[in-house]
Chains A and B, each alone.
Chain A
Amino acid sequence: MEYLKKYPKLFQWLFLLIVFFALCFAIDVPETYKFIRGQAEFVKDPNQSVYFFLGKEVRYYAFDVFWRLPPLLGWLPIWINDSLFFLMNEWMPMEFWNEDTQEFKTRPLLLQISRNLTSFMTFLIELIREILLGGLETIVAFTSWDFIDAYPWLELPGLPWTIVAAGATILAYKLSGKGLALFAGLTMVYISIFGQWKPSMQTLSFILVAVPLSFAFGISLGIAAYKSKRVENALYPILLVMQTMPQYAVLVPALVLFGVGDHAAVIITMVVAVPPMILLTILGLRAVPPEVIEAGRMSGCTNWQLMTKVLIPTARRDILIGVNQVIMVCFSMAVISAFIGAKGLGFNLLLALNQLNIGLALEAGLCISLIAILLDKMSLAWANQQQDYFGNLTFYQRNKNIIFFGGSIVVGIILAYIGTFVFKDTFNYLFEVPHNKGISTADFWNKGVDWIFDTFFVYIKAFNTWLIVDVLQPMRALYLRMPAVATLVLAVGAGYLIGGVRSALVVAALTLFIALSPWWDRALVTLYMATFGVVVSCLIGFTVGTLCFQNKKSAAFMLGVCDIFQTFPSFVYLIPVMMLFGITDTSVLIAVIVYATIPATRYTIEGLRSVPVGLHEAATMSGVNKFQRLTKIEFPLAFPHMMLGINQTIVFALFMVIIGAFIGTEDLGQYILKALSDKNGAGIGLTLGICVAFIGLIFDNLIRTWVEKRKKHLGIA
């Protein structure tokens, strides 16, 4: 009894668990139950039940409602799909003047808008491609193949690679100095001599359109939300869902709306990249001290000046993190959007992965990562650059960058011209190294992989088998063994215990949505993979973070490593694991673990760092040793922040699990991937995406509520 009074929460939790397990044991697995491998609506099985809703037929396997809820929301994807189709093809037909045919043509409004939008995007992308690559394709677009045949020099790219490389180096030097210049130069040379020039420039042109547009949209919406509560309230739920929505899932509806190609990829990238930018803009602007705003006002700023010269620069830390996120998302989307026909490195990467050509995939992946890191560092340096008012500079000093760039153009063109003599009967390597005609280390890597496989095959296989048979399969079976009702009770109970009625209701609504969708079993599989990934990631992340925290230098080093790893597009993580473990669940899980360990480590270090120095000293003076200080002072105080890390870890893990469908998993991601190639996939893809987002949001809600309460309790809110 005394314990009960002392720890009431503990007993409430125990009670909840008892109820949960009691339900699990009380509800038997129906004899007819089996994990459904195909989608119910495509399987015509006489055992299926059928119901009609709004004229839509929904087929499903009926079980005891305590075991699995019937998919009452099964009509939703079909309905979304039909609505989209209706909007695109039948809604508001209007007459539009067609320049080419010189006549009016009737087209639905939305279709026309989407076509205009996509042609605008295409224009922007082509414009940049023209400068970076130019040559053949664009000229063909304006003239004809005959024209090219007549003038073979037209096949040359826009600029020789030497000039673009020199330009990048000089720009990096101007922005940040020698270090970055060296990195930029090496990156460009690598891209070039490895024959990745063309796909890299294609990707770059895509990025150079997507990043500025996302940034502009994100920051303006962020400012609008900062200025008006109403806008914020309208945006917030969308932002929340978008934050946890897997990037895959957005692709499918985009296919319907914008078609296939680079333009659709840019639009879809913006949809994914804008939300974090908005959130971070709001966060940054909110954190500007009121006195700084007043100082701006008293200096006589107009509203515009206040925003551009005081608020945004003062909030630039958070805004820059936003830019970093935008770049990150854009690069990972550069790969993912290859699924809907975007050209460039992403396409090559996917192709190489499909062919299991790990070496090629590695080279393409390295290219993407290098460009991502380069752009990230450049944008950072650009935002932090300083002006020198007092330097008495000569004309040469002031304009040396321009002079150098001019010089490099001349040298580049001369080199290219010399190249025409040196490489008379072959490619002009001083102009452009054609794709797959450069140096390649792919063979080396492939052989390396083969060697590793041959040498360690037994061990890898043994580990693989052990993990799958002894750990993963039982865990998966356990998850699938949970009756729907028990899961609901557990989720709602946890919500109530953590955040009261409000949280309980939110969690209940989110869980019910998934339970009533046709994919409950799949969601459980996703959940099991995510759980496994998150648990291992957190263990590794907390350990590594805590160890690194013991020393200032190693902590800073680790945060730097996290920064770099975070800039890698998520797909890149699949390459090394496929090298080692082939196409198995193990591969996916290891990619998940590697990817999700980043936030876990980062937040652990940051959390431990946030413990006030005064407390350290107080603890030291009370005579604690290092271990006691860690367990008694630092962990309890840093824990709320570390929990936010777990939150991020969950989101990262879910993303990776879904991407893992590419390797082949039997979860929600597999269906999303399927929906991509399905004519009617839009509704399914979107609903599946929402399901994944909701899984993330359930944990997000619980963890955030807990953290807020805990912080208030500890007085560190």
Chain B
Amino acid sequence: MSETVIKCESVYKIFGENAKKMLEESNGNVDAKTFQDKGCIVGVNNASFEVAKGEMLVVMGLSGSGKSTLLRCISRLTDATGGKIFIEGQDLLQLNNKELIELRRNKMGMVFQSFALLPHKTVVENIAFPLQIKGIKTEDSISRAMEMVKLVGLDGRENYFPRELSGGQQQRVGIARSLAVEPDIWFLDEPFSALDPLIRKEMQDEFLRLQEKLQKTIMFITHDFDEALKLADRIAIMKDGIIEQLDTPANIVLNPATEYVRKFTEEVPREKVLVIEDVMDTSNKNNLGDIKVSKDDIIENVAEKILTQEKIVGVVDSNNNIIGSIKPSTIIDTVFGGRKNNS
């Protein structure tokens, strides 16, 4: 693993008057029910994880699961009740107001579900806003903003007001604004949830294209499991403030840690999510046929190739070394009988 950018250690966020005191008394054993009886609501319960540089962590959960609260703790839009958060080794909760503002001006960008554009500013002014806040000259900030306008494909609409744009276009502005200061860390809070399905898919593809180019460290919040599978390097599934499972998409599909997670994975078409590496047999590297597949191929794309072979198909890594093999029956198992893996 490369260097850690975001690191959380037992982060708690509890809403309510005596939250801090009650958290101290509970010694880390926070039970949502008992807290609720005393008038406190648990938002985030003992969250610990790390995000590596250039990695995309998707936090998935239904509404009220605390995913947005977790994101707001890490961006310090709210202060965590307990625990520690490090951004590039800096203790976030120890920063004073000035340092926090510096951090946000240079390192962080955030995209919001409802776009949160400033209604009185045009597209280009909205995008230039974080730059102008930093004190960059108007000319420079506008020319930089125009680059961003091109990046998100809104050329020709730079003088429109947000109210004159469609939802998808507005979110493009939101994305451009969050990227204007070239942040290292990119927070996205359900950025595509308010868009209709076709636009959403288009934006997801666009987002993957951007990420390939920019390689930011990303925390992405969504309530859509398919979206999480499509985008994530790793997924954290949250329920009632607790992270139920944090793993790669393949592992979550193959080995759901809890019943709650399993329910999400049931309907997922495995062949679309899993790659050969996830299901290959590493012990048997002999008696292979001529045809080979890459370990990073998605099963769906190579299934036909494997199933039409009489011999076992070899699996190679990026250097063309054979690292394992895969039988046609494994493919059939994965697609049709995959559920017995759970037992």
Residues of A within 8 A of B (CB): 289, 291-292, 294-295, 297-302, 305, 309-310, 313-314, 316, 386-387, 389-390
The answer to whether A314 and B110 touch across the interface, beta carbons within 8 angstroms, is no
Partner of B134, one of A292, A295, A300: A300
Q: Give CA–CA (A294, B188) in the complex, Å.
A: 13
Binary interface encoding of chain B residues 86-124 relative to chain A, with 1 for a CB under 8 A from any of its CBs, else 0: 000000000000000110111011101111111111101
For the complex formed, measure the closest distance between the CB of A343 and the CB atoms of chain B, giving whole angstroms. Answer: 39
Known contacts A314-B119, A389-B124: does B113 contact A299 (CB below 8 Å)? no
Binary interface encoding of chain B residues 125-166 relative to chain A, with 1 for a CB under 8 A from any of its CBs, else 0: 100011001100010001000000000000000110000000
The answer to whether A294 and B112 touch across the interface, beta carbons within 8 angstroms, is yes
Known contacts A305-B133, A309-B133, A389-B142: does B104 contact A297 (CB below 8 Å)? yes
Partner of B108, one of A292, A298, A301, A310: A298
Closest residue of chain B to A317 (Cβ to Cβ) is B119
Which residues in A have their C-beta under 8 angstroms from that of B142?
389
Partner of B109, one of A297, A298, A313, A386: A298
Residues of B within 8 A of A (CB): 72, 75, 77, 101-102, 104-106, 108-110, 112-122, 124-125, 129-130, 133-134, 138, 142, 158-159, 174, 177-178, 181, 187
The answer to whether A289 and B118 touch across the interface, beta carbons within 8 angstroms, is no
The answer to whether B77 and A294 touch across the interface, beta carbons within 8 angstroms, is yes
Known contacts A294-B110, A389-B124: does B133 contact A299 (CB below 8 Å)? yes
Which 5 pairs from chain A and chain B are nearest by CB?
A300-B105, A299-B130, A295-B116, A291-B116, A300-B104
The answer to whether A292 and B130 touch across the interface, beta carbons within 8 angstroms, is no
Closest residue of chain B to A293 (Cβ to Cβ) is B116
Which residues in A have their C-beta under 8 angstroms from that of B112?
291, 294-295
Which residues in A have their C-beta under 8 angstroms from that of B109?
298
Q: Give CA–CA (A316, B121) in the complex, Å.
A: 12
The answer to whether A299 and B129 touch across the interface, beta carbons within 8 angstroms, is yes
Which residues in B have their C-beta under 8 angstroms from that of A314?
118-120
Which residues in B have their C-beta under 8 angstroms from that of A313?
118-121
Which residues in A have their C-beta under 8 angstroms from that of B105?
299-300
Which residues in A have their C-beta under 8 angstroms from that of B114?
289, 291
Query: Assuming A294-B77, A300-B134, A389-B142, what are 18 further A-B pairs, CB within 8 angstroms?
Result: A289-B114, A292-B118, A294-B112, A295-B112, A295-B118, A295-B174, A298-B75, A298-B109, A299-B104, A299-B181, A300-B102, A300-B106, A305-B133, A313-B118, A313-B119, A314-B118, A314-B119, A390-B158
The answer to whether A300 and B101 touch across the interface, beta carbons within 8 angstroms, is yes
| Complex A-B: 20 CB contacts under 8 Å | A294-B72, A294-B112, A294-B116, A295-B174, A298-B75, A298-B104, A298-B110, A298-B178, A299-B105, A300-B104, A300-B105, A300-B134, A300-B181, A305-B133, A314-B118, A314-B119, A316-B120, A389-B138, A389-B142, A390-B159
Q: Give CA–CA (A302, B100) in the complex, Å.
A: 10
Closest residue of chain A to B174 (Cβ to Cβ) is A295
Closest residue of chain A to B75 (Cβ to Cβ) is A298
The answer to whether B101 and A302 touch across the interface, beta carbons within 8 angstroms, is yes
Which residues in B have their C-beta under 8 angstroms from that of A316?
120
For the complex formed, measure the closest distance between the CB of A295 and the CB atoms of chain B, giving whole angstroms. Answer: 4
Partner of B116, one of A292, A302, A387: A292
For the complex formed, measure the closest distance between the CB of A680 and the CB atoms of chain B, giving whole angstroms. Answer: 52
Q: Give CA–CA (A298, B103) in the complex, Å.
A: 9
Q: Give CA–CA (A305, B178) in the complex, Å.
A: 17
For the complex formed, measure the closest distance between the CB of B23 and the CB atoms of chain A, giving whole angstroms. Answer: 24
Which residues in B have their C-beta under 8 angstroms from that of A300?
101-102, 104-106, 130, 133-134, 181
Which residues in A have their C-beta under 8 angstroms from that of B75?
298
Q: Give CA–CA (A386, B181) in the complex, Å.
A: 24
Q: Give CA–CA (A386, B159) in the complex, Å.
A: 10
Q: Give CA–CA (A514, B177) in the complex, Å.
A: 58
The answer to whether A301 and B120 touch across the interface, beta carbons within 8 angstroms, is no
The answer to whether A386 and B122 touch across the interface, beta carbons within 8 angstroms, is yes
The residue among B104, B109, B114, B120 with the most chain A CB atoms within 10 A of its own CB is B120
Closest residue of chain A to B187 (Cβ to Cβ) is A298
Q: Give CA–CA (A219, B104) in the complex, Å.
A: 29
Q: Give CA–CA (A291, B191) in the complex, Å.
A: 12
The residue among A300, A313, A316 with the most chain B CB atoms within 10 A of its own CB is A300
For the complex formed, measure the closest distance between the CB of B125 and the CB atoms of chain A, giving whole angstroms. Answer: 8
Which residues in A have their C-beta under 8 angstroms from that of B108?
298
Q: Give CA–CA (A309, B117) in the complex, Å.
A: 12
The answer to whether B77 and A301 touch across the interface, beta carbons within 8 angstroms, is no
Q: Give CA–CA (A313, B108) in the complex, Å.
A: 24
For the complex formed, measure the closest distance between the CB of B74 and the CB atoms of chain A, giving whole angstroms. Answer: 12
Which residues in A have their C-beta under 8 angstroms from that of B120?
313-314, 316
Closest residue of chain B to A291 (Cβ to Cβ) is B116
Known contacts A305-B133, A389-B142: does B77 contact A297 (CB below 8 Å)? yes
Which residues in A have their C-beta under 8 angstroms from that of B124?
389
Q: Give CA–CA (A294, B108) in the complex, Å.
A: 13
Closest residue of chain A to B105 (Cβ to Cβ) is A300
Q: Give CA–CA (A501, B272) in the complex, Å.
A: 64
For the complex formed, measure the closest distance between the CB of B104 and the CB atoms of chain A, giving whole angstroms. Answer: 4
For the complex formed, measure the closest distance between the CB of B211 and the CB atoms of chain A, giving whole angstroms. Answer: 19
Q: Give CA–CA (A292, B122) in the complex, Å.
A: 15
The answer to whether B133 and A301 touch across the interface, beta carbons within 8 angstroms, is yes
For the complex formed, measure the closest distance between the CB of B289 and the CB atoms of chain A, giving whole angstroms. Answer: 54
Closest residue of chain B to A313 (Cβ to Cβ) is B120
Q: Give CA–CA (A294, B124) in the complex, Å.
A: 20
Q: Give CA–CA (A600, B77) in the complex, Å.
A: 43
Closest residue of chain B to A310 (Cβ to Cβ) is B118
Q: Give CA–CA (A297, B134) in the complex, Å.
A: 12
Closest residue of chain B to A316 (Cβ to Cβ) is B120
Which residues in A have their C-beta under 8 angstroms from that of B119?
313-314
Q: Give CA–CA (A298, B102) in the complex, Å.
A: 10
Which residues in A have their C-beta under 8 angstroms from that of B133?
299-301, 305, 309
Which residues in B have their C-beta under 8 angstroms from that of A310?
118
For the complex formed, measure the closest distance between the CB of B75 and the CB atoms of chain A, giving whole angstroms. Answer: 6
For the complex formed, measure the closest distance between the CB of A318 and the CB atoms of chain B, giving whole angstroms. Answer: 13
Q: Give CA–CA (A302, B130) in the complex, Å.
A: 11
Partner of B110, one of A295, A301, A386: A295
Q: Give CA–CA (A295, B133) in the complex, Å.
A: 12
Q: Give CA–CA (A314, B118) in the complex, Å.
A: 6
Partner of A289, one of B116, B122, B158: B116
Closest residue of chain B to A297 (Cβ to Cβ) is B77
Closest residue of chain B to A306 (Cβ to Cβ) is B133
Q: Give CA–CA (A513, B133) in the complex, Å.
A: 54
Q: Give CA–CA (A289, B187) in the complex, Å.
A: 19
The answer to whether A298 and B138 touch across the interface, beta carbons within 8 angstroms, is no
Q: Give CA–CA (A519, B294) in the complex, Å.
A: 96
Which residues in A have their C-beta under 8 angstroms from that of B77?
294, 297-298
Q: Give CA–CA (A545, B328) in the complex, Å.
A: 75
Q: Give CA–CA (A297, B181) in the complex, Å.
A: 14
Which residues in A have their C-beta under 8 angstroms from that of B125?
387
Q: Give CA–CA (A506, B88) in the complex, Å.
A: 58
For the complex formed, measure the closest distance between the CB of A617 and the CB atoms of chain B, giving whole angstroms. Answer: 20
